[in-house]
Every structure is written in C-alpha cells, then in structure tokens.
Structure 1
Amino acid sequence: MGRKAGTLFINPKNFGSLQKPCVKDMVTFLNCLTLNHNKDDKCSRQKSLLSACMEAQGKNRKPWGSINYHLQRLNRGRR
C-alpha cells in the first residue's frame, strides 16, 4: 500500500511554519487541567478563551479539503 508512481503529492508536515493561532490558549488550558487533576470547573476562564479562539478561527476557514485531494483531481484531468 502506497502512492502510485508519478502522482503529485505534497507532504503537509512540511508546512510547519503556518500560523497556529489557538495553540497558546490550548496549552494554557491543558496546563490548568494538569495542575488541577482534570477538574474542568477550575479552568473555566482558560476554557472560555480557547472556545472563543476556536470559534473565531472556524468562521474564516473554507471547507475545501486537503491539498493532496485537489492535486489528484488535477492529475486526473491532465491525462
């Protein structure tokens, strides 16, 4: 099982420099959970900040699918 020879493919792991805007909020929330032994009620402030960040990111995102899916579509049309 693998990719066919001659197909287009982009490794998405190489795009590590792209923005990850909610990582800081997620890390603070996870640290709070760790310090409070997974008690969610003590971390309500961090949870609300993370939820707000996630909702703001969801509005800007277009549901296009992965880049490799579109590369395969282009490759089929080229034959």
Structure 2
Amino acid sequence: MGRKVGILRINPKKFGSLQKPCMKEMISLLNCLGLCHNNDEKCVRQKQLLGTCMEAQAGKNKKPWGSINYHLTRLNRGRK
C-alpha cells in the first residue's frame, strides 16, 4: 500500500524498516550525558563504543538501494 504522487508510487512502510546500526550506542551516550549533566569525562566508555561502531559503519556501503542523486536523476528523466 502507498500513496500515489503522479505516476510514482511511494511505499511509506519501506522507509520505516531502514536499519539504524549505532542507535543503541548513541542512546546510551545521550543517557549518560543527561545523567552526568553533559560531563564528557564520566561518559568515556559510551563515547568509545559509539566511535567504534561509527568507524565500523564507515567501511560498509552507505546505501544498498542507491544514492539520492541517482534517484533524483531518474525521476527527472521521467518527467521530461
């Protein structure tokens, strides 16, 4: 199911299933910062975990379904 915009079909359910690989680490860092009143010295472990996770994600493909520029070009060709 989805909404139709012109002839393009948009499936909103597809966008809800995108992976958020470092979300747990980021939430734990933000919780620690909130509890410690933004004191970085007390949240070193959470900061290291988030940094490690983000570095691991940098080596992977960014988006398996293509870049936004590719899709914008494709849509632009269809409008002409």
Instruction: Answer yes or no: same fold by TM over 0.5.
Output: yes
Gaps of 5+ in 2: none
SS of alignment partner, residue 19 of structure 1: coil
How far apart, CA to CA, are the structure 2 residues paired with 1:32 and 1:10? Answer: 38
TM-score by length of 2: 0.69
User: How many correspondences in the alignment?
Assistant: 73
How far apart, CA to CA, are the structure 2 residues paired with 1:36 and 1:71? Answer: 43
Structure possessing the higher relative contact order (Cα contacts under 8 Å, 6 or more residues apart)? 1
Q: For residue 29 of structure 1, what is the aligned residue in structure 2?
A: 29
How far apart, CA to CA, are the structure 1 residues paired with 2:8 and 2:70? Answer: 10
TM-score by length of 1: 0.69
Matched, 1:47 2:39: no
Gaps of 5+ in 1: none
Offset, 1:61? 2.7
Q: For residue 67 of structure 2, what is the aligned residue in structure 1?
A: 65
More strand by share: 2
Residue identity (%): 51
User: CA RMSD for the aligned pairs?
Assistant: 2.7
1:55–1:10 Cα change, 3 Å: farther
